[in-house]
Structure 1
Amino acid sequence: MKIGIIGGTGGMGTLFSEVFKKAGHEVFIVGRKTKMTREDAARISDVIIISVPIRDTISVIHEIAPLLREHQVLADFTSLKISQVKAMLTSKARVIGLHPMFGPTVQTIRGQTIVATPARCHEEDLRFFVKIFENQGARVTITTPAEHDRMMAVIQGLTHFKAILLAGTMRRLGISPADTESFMSPVYRIETGIAGRLLAQNPELYADILCMNPQVPDVLEKCQQAFLETLSMIKNGDKDAFTEEFLASREWYGSFCNQAEKDTDFLIQAMVNR
């Protein structure tokens, strides 16, 4: 198969160009400075993948959509799916949304999750991607664009917000990670490490993830509600209410708590042994 990756000179495009080459396919790379243009790739590729920043995805899709035909497959690597898939459906191509749940700094897709949102495609089109990804050790989750965006509002929106909030609170307190270094437990190191890892990356990516998913504000309003209710318990010294809240969340998490304890014990031991 001939696979054209628009945005292929970026981190994610570079990573997946190697994934497809390893699977035996011919890959065409399109970037701002490549000789091959978006139009060239759209005309000659069997599969066209859009791998550009979230804010640019829809405009790039609309640019190439009129050039595509029924025998081609159009996909994207964007963190959002409802609007992006809708835009891809304006073409005549078969359409599958893809979202790698990891950054381009990984060395391999082994052990990683990739979400697929098939919209208008043949069964063999979906199998094409699933086989490549699973053969190289990735896990593929198949869902709808709407369910994808609903889950991303929590998995990305809420967790990224929490990390940014942790760093912002420490900054407002005038306490840096270096100030806490000699007091750190491995668990605290992991928590601040996640915030530091996020802050080391491109702020525009996280601005797009948080600001462009219309479901994120509703999730963060629930977060605010939980924060204010729990803050009230703490201010009032209401240990009974706090305990009730704590146990209700434990029950909601269920058996995940036991697995999480084992997983984090492994991480803590790795931190201690490094």
Structure 2
Amino acid sequence: MGLAYISLFEQVDIPEIQNYNFKVEILALQGQKVGVIGGSQGLGSWLVGHLKEKKIEVKFTSADEYSELPSNKELLEFADVVFLCVPISAMETVMEEVYPYLQGKTLIEICSVKKFVIEKYESLKQQYPDIETAFCSIHPMFGPRIHSLTGQVILFNHSDRIAEGIVEELKEFFLEDHAQVYNLPYLRHDKLMGVVQGLNHFNVFVSAKTLARFESEFEDIKQVASPPYRIFIIFFTRYVLQNPRLYAEIQMNNEFVFEVVRIFRDEMNRLFDLIQTRDKEGFIKYIEDMQPYFASNKSDMEVSTHLIEQLGEYLEKKN
């Protein structure tokens, strides 16, 4: 059955993004036993390491030989708080498996796509009315390779039956390491991720594939690319050499991505036609028409200059 795609421009009556910068003294995770389902790879592996650094008692399961416990059921018997860090395609199946064992526990899922996960949780809540479990949906907007949370974004998307203060304390768990924490309702999350993830990933992979098909040696391209252009190549490499299944599942499970990349395709064709017909004035107008949209973000020009200069210094030292 195909996805029922939702218009990117559909009006959704939900609050704006809300930022948190408060402090609390007691962390909900301190003194708790924490379980991580999917803890041997990806963000699950990062989370296990981060929890251990915080001196929190943690165990994990995984679908490979590195699992610390033989089953998710045994992990649920151990844990008070459970993080669900499995691939997008496994979310529904694993939620069905573990939900009957969540009595009195807190389930925190970290999926990159929210709508279908929240709907699955609501369905299971109706199916098991006697199971009282707290539920929280978050999205850490970073990968497992990071070494510091400073400046990294973590989105809180939905909570249900959470005890008073626990969500705030969980936010503080990340805030104390200087992460940026935001409240973003799950429908608006998926809509914005259609652009932040869907469009950017699509753009990267099409551009990288074009580079791979172009008849020129990769090292030659790198050698003549000044720092602004090397930034693009750096991120082509970063994304292409990671697990493609994750990106496939983001592209195909977020209902907003399809419309975003359809717009991308239309704009690509428009710009292609302008270049093919050598319509210089049309090309100039094409760019000028979008300038008002970006005018309020002019301060990022300074950010880009800083990044370019920093990369230039790094490359000089490396060479």
Q: Normalised by the shorter chain, which TM-score bucket? A: over 0.9
Deviations 1:74-96 (A, max 9, x none): 11121111111222332442211
Aligned 8 A contact 1:74 1:88 in 2: no
Partner of 2:198: 157
Matched residue, 2:88:
54
1:219 partnered with 2:253: no
Q: Compute the displacement of 1:178 (Å).
A: 1.8
Task: Give the deviation of 1:176 after TM superposition.
Answer: 4.0
1:75 is aligned with what amino acid?
Answer: I
Q: Is the 8 A contact 1:85 1:95 kept in 2?
A: no
Aligned pairs (5 A) from 1:254-273: 254-256=295-297, 258-273=298-313
Question: 227, 249, 263: which is aligned to 1:208?
Answer: 249
Deviation at 1:41, TM superposition (A): 2.1
Find the counterpart in structure 2 of residue 195 from structure 1: 236
Please point out which of 168, 174, 198 is paired with 2:215.
174
Q: In structure 2, what residue type is equivalent to 1:246?
A: I
Higher RCO, Cα 8 Å, sep 6+: 2
RMSD over equivalenced CA pairs, Å: 1.8
Matched residues in 2 for 1:34 and 1:127: separation? 30
Q: Give the alignment partner of residue 10 of structure 1, picking from 30, 41, 44.
A: 41
Write the distance in 1 (CA, Å) between the matches of 2:180 and 2:43: 17
Greater alpha carbon shift after TM alignment, 44-53 vs 25-34? 25-34
For residue 162 of structure 1, give the secondary structure of its aligned residue in structure 2: helix
Normalising by structure 1, what TM-score? 0.92
Determine which of 87, 112, 118 is the counterpart of 2:120: 87
Residues 111-120 or 30-39, more deviating: 30-39
Question: 1:49 touches 1:76 (CA, 8 Å); kept in 2?
Answer: yes
Match of 1:120 in 2: 160
Q: TM-score, normalised by structure 2?
A: 0.80
Amino acid at match of 1:138: A
Aligned twin of 2:276:
235
Task: After superposing the two structures, state which structure 1 stretch, 235-244 or 223-232, moved more.
Answer: 235-244
How far residue 24 of structure 1 moved from its aligned partner, in angstroms, is: 4.7
Deviations 1:166-218 (A, max 9, x none): 11112232234223123211111001111111111111111111122222111
Task: Report the counterpart of residue 145 of structure 2 in structure 1.
Answer: 105
The one of 21, 39, 43 equivalent to 2:73 is 39
Q: Does the Cα contact within 8 Å between 2:69 and 2:75 map onto a contact in 1?
A: no
Give the equivalent residue in structure 2 for 1:74: 107
The separation in 2 between residues aligned to 1:43 and 1:14, in whole angstroms, is: 21
The residue aligned with 1:244 is 285
Unmatched 5+ stretches in structure 1: none
Give the conservation status (yes or no) of the 8 Å contact 1:29–1:36: no
Identity score, percent? 26
Identify, as 1 or 2, the structure richer in helix: 1
Matched to 1:113, the amino acid is V
Shift of 1:128: 2.4
Q: 1:129 aligns with which of 170, 180, 189?
A: 170
CA contact (8 A) 1:2 1:45 kept: yes
1:177–1:260 distance in 2 versus 1, CA, 3 Å: farther
**Superposition deviation, residue 23 in structure 1:** 4.1
